[in-house]
Amino acid sequence: MFKGILMEGSRGDQQVSLKSIDEAWLPEGDVSVDVAYSTLNYKDALAITGTAPIAKSYPMVPGIDLAGVVTESSNPEFKAGDEVVLNGWGVGEKHWGGLAQKARLSGDWLIPLPASFTARQAMAIGTAGYTAMLCVLALEKHGVTPDSGDILVTGATGGVGSVAVAILAKLGYSVTAVTGKPEEESYLRSLGAKQILDRAELSEPGKPLARETWAGAIDVAGGHVLANVCAGMKYRGVVAACGLAAGMDFPATVAPFILRSVTLCGVDSVMAPKKDRLEAWERLAQDLSPELLDSMITEVPFDEAIQAASQFMDGTIRGRIVIPVA
Ligand code: NDP
């Protein structure tokens, strides 16, 4: 038996509890893992609170991320004792996830724990941090450099935003952090933000084109925020869009794209190919200061994780949550 969060019932009528689970119930997979740490991402909070239909079947163990040690493997890439990390691939949605002491899954979804991180730090990064790195890579691949001009990061006190601000600042970019939490200005400056912008300035419907201000942007919000970000880009500016914290809609015009050659890059972490994941984790090891990462962490005991998911939905949590599950 092992401890895990179990979502039971059905869509719209789910019950979530921390339970003792029989190992025989674990799903099929060629690698078994003793999970040491997991985390809460926005998507995990949506799943646990039932705010969005993240679980595709029941019963389901939530948790889109895990870090732990392989106990059994018939996959040639892994053997017992290997330390591994998992992000996404539908784990915690279609396949039992990381918020449990044991997991059985496909070795094709795993990557080795990067040598420069502990399992705890890898979960402090989690999907949020790895997505932040994918967004930075998207800006770079479209030619944005620190000399191009200021970079805007929305949802800056959140998981993706905090990691994005820290990485960009370390790389020498001048970062403007957009936040709805003015009281967190000193936190954002400690991560390296040069300027702070009130989220309210981007949240209302704006003009198709605004003053040319940003060379690059990482947006976690969508909705009017993303529309206003696009409208405020410099000529040939690049926006990496990965989230929907403000909404799923995109009430914009084509003006920034056809008059300023703005590029809008979509970023998905869940199905990103292994080579992109390995690149992102390699760059995280290089470009994310472990001290700043530690300053983003709130550790939540396993038996308080369900409660923490509700707080997450209020948007009051800062940085990253890690959950020791072992
Ligand atoms: P968090 O909850 O940690 O952070 C989201 C932040 O967005 C909040 O802290 C808040 O920051 C800001 N925010 C909250 N509500 C609004 C609003 N109405 N308008 C604008 N900003 C708002 O979540 P994550 O950082 O983990 O994830 C952010 C988004 O990115 C989510 O939508 C998530 O689903 C998505 N995501 C997508 C991935 C992908 O693969 N595409 C992977 C990971 C995340 P502040 O108060 O500072 O403004």
Ligand 1: does its nearest atom lie under 6 Å from the Cβ of 43? yes
Answer whether residue 272 is part of any domain: no
**Burial class of residue 76, CB neighbours in 10 A (0-12, 13-18, 19+):** exposed
In-domain check, residue 285? no
Q: What is the CATH number of the domain that holds 80?
A: 3.90.180.10
> What pLDDT score does 180 carry?
96
User: Both 139 and 102 in a single domain?
Assistant: no
- pLDDT at position 311 is 86
Co-location of 141 and 244 in the same domain: yes
Is residue 169 domain-resident?
yes
Q: Please name the amino acid found at residue 81.
A: G
Q: Is the CB of 199 under 6 A from ligand 1?
A: yes
Q: What is the pLDDT of residue 313?
A: 83
Please state at what angle helix 119-141 crosses helix 274-287, rounded to 10 degrees: 100
Q: Give me the pLDDT at residue 317, please.
A: 84
Residue 39 CB less than 6 A away from ligand 1: no
- With a 6 Å cutoff on the Cβ, whether 242 touches ligand 1 is yes
The verdict on 211 and 233 lying in the same domain is yes
Q: Which domain does 167 fall in, by range?
A: 127-266
Report the CATH number at residue 177.
Answer: 3.40.50.720
pTM above 0.95, yes or no: yes
Rounded Cα gap, residues 217 and 293, in angstroms: 21
Token pair for 236 = 């040939």
Q: Which atom of ligand 1 is nearest to the CA of 223?
A: 19
Task: Count Cα neighbours of 85 within 13 Å in the Cβ-side half-sphere.
Answer: 25
Residue 283 lies in a domain: no
Q: Cβ distance 228 to 202 under 8 Å? A: yes
Q: Does 303 map to a domain?
A: yes
Ligand 1 mean position to 101 CA, how many Å?
27
**Same domain (yes/no): 259, 133:** yes
For residue 278, is it within any domain? no
**Per-residue pLDDT, 322:** 98
* Domain count across the chain: 2
- Looking at the structure, tell me whether residues 108 and 191 fall in a common domain: no
Q: Is residue 88 part of a domain?
A: yes
The pLDDT of residue 314 is 81
The residue whose CA is least distant from atom 9 of ligand 1 is 158
The predicted structure's pLDDT at residue 57: 95
Cα 324 to averaged position of ligand 1 atoms, centre (Å): 23
Whether 52 is in a domain gets the answer yes
The pLDDT of residue 141: 98
| Sites in the chain below the pLDDT cut of 70 | none
The interface predicted TM-score of the complex, written ipTM, equals 0.99
What residues contact 276, with CB distance under 8 A and at least 6 apart?
A: 134, 137
pLDDT, one tens digit per residue, over 27-58 is: 999 999 999 999 999 999 999 999 999 999 99
Instruction: Say if residues 5 and 14 touch (Cβ distance below 8 Å).
Output: no
> Token pair of 46, please?
């949506």
Q: Which of 39, 160, 176, 187 to mutate to test the pocket of ligand 1 (most atoms within 8 A of CB)?
A: 160
Residue 40: Cβ-neighbour burial (10 angstroms; 0-12, 13-18, 19+): buried
Kindly state whether residues 302 and 240 are assigned to the same domain.
no
